[in-house]
Amino acid sequence: MAQNAQNMVNSISVWLTVAAIAVLSTAASAQDPTTSLPDSYKVQFENDYVRVVRVHYEAGAKLPDHTHPAGTTVYVYLNDSDGVVFRHSRNNTRAVTRPAVKAGAIRISSGGEEHHTAENNSSTASDFLRIFLKTENPGSRTMRRLPPNEAEYSTKQIRVTRIALEQHDEQAITAKEPALLIEWPSGDEVWLDAGASRPIANHDPRTVTFIRIDFLTKPR
């Protein structure tokens, strides 16, 4: 009788543990905006080095609280757009307004986990790529804005360069380290493993820019 009671207690304890894990997993998933806000955040590409998320804030959009992980993120802005208001929660309850951005601009930022809402009070949408780095960051926290005409920037973690191609231009790209190419203005990506090479070309009447991110450290 006592053994049966103990078995029942053990079973209840196991069930509660499993239930708690499931609740925590569901809560974490709900906070990931690619799961909870799929119209605004879509995973475009992902591997061991990087996660590329295409973000779209519709004009007048008000997005509920969601979470972004700690680490370094590269933002590539795909259109001219006005400021977006981020209202932080949890341990940091301040509101921050992202300044207006220009198409082709880049921002590189590293920091802790973020919990916030987002409000696009503009009459135009805001479109950009949120490129989260999964690699080791041996340097200090980074905050750098690169205007569309700034061609190169490096940290111990990554090297960012721009390659501009006029119509009918072609160029062979060789990656000494793993590299991600973002075609602008489309925002499409090309991944190159270390040692790989491939040609890139522009068949568009407009100038096409490739934003190249070389990964200088290994995945965490």
Residue 99: DSSP 8-state: P
Phi, psi of 30 (to 5 degrees): -65, -30
In the chain, what's the furthest Cα-to-Cα distance?
Answer: 84
- Please indicate, yes or no, whether residues 3 and 38 belong to a single structural domain of this protein: no
Tell me if 220 is assigned to some domain: no
- Coil, helix or strand at residue 125: coil
Q: How confident is the model at residue 5 (pLDDT cuts 50, 70, 90)?
A: low
Tell me if 55 is assigned to some domain: yes
- Please indicate, yes or no, whether residues 26 and 43 belong to a single structural domain of this protein: no
- Please indicate, yes or no, whether residues 69 and 164 belong to a single structural domain of this protein: yes
- Please indicate, yes or no, whether residues 10 and 64 belong to a single structural domain of this protein: no
pLDDT tens for 150-179 read 999 999 999 999 999 999 999 999 999 999
Q: Give the per-residue pLDDT at 22.
A: 37
- Please indicate, yes or no, whether residues 7 and 81 belong to a single structural domain of this protein: no
C-alpha 32/C-alpha 67 separation (Å) is 6
Q: How many domains does the chain have?
A: 2
| Mean pLDDT over each residue of the chain, to the nearest integer | 88
- Please indicate, yes or no, whether residues 98 and 158 belong to a single structural domain of this protein: yes
pLDDT tens for 189-203 read 999 999 999 999 999
- Please indicate, yes or no, whether residues 91 and 6 belong to a single structural domain of this protein: no
Using only C-alpha atoms, what is the Rg of the chain? 21
- Please indicate, yes or no, whether residues 22 and 40 belong to a single structural domain of this protein: no
Q: How confident is the model at residue 11 (pLDDT cuts 50, 70, 90)?
A: low
Question: Are 51 and 44 within 8 A, CB to CB?
Answer: no
Q: Are strands 179-184 and 71-77 parallel, antiparallel or unpaired?
A: unpaired
Q: Give the per-residue pLDDT at 24.
A: 36
Q: Give the per-residue pLDDT at 178.
A: 98
pLDDT tens for 32-69 read 999 999 999 999 999 999 999 999 999 999 999 999 99
- Domain containing 19 equals 1-31
| CATH number of the domain residue 152 falls in | 2.60.120.10
Of the given ranges (4-18, 102-116, 159-173), which has the lowest mean pLDDT? Answer: 4-18
Retrieve residue 74's tokens.
């590269």
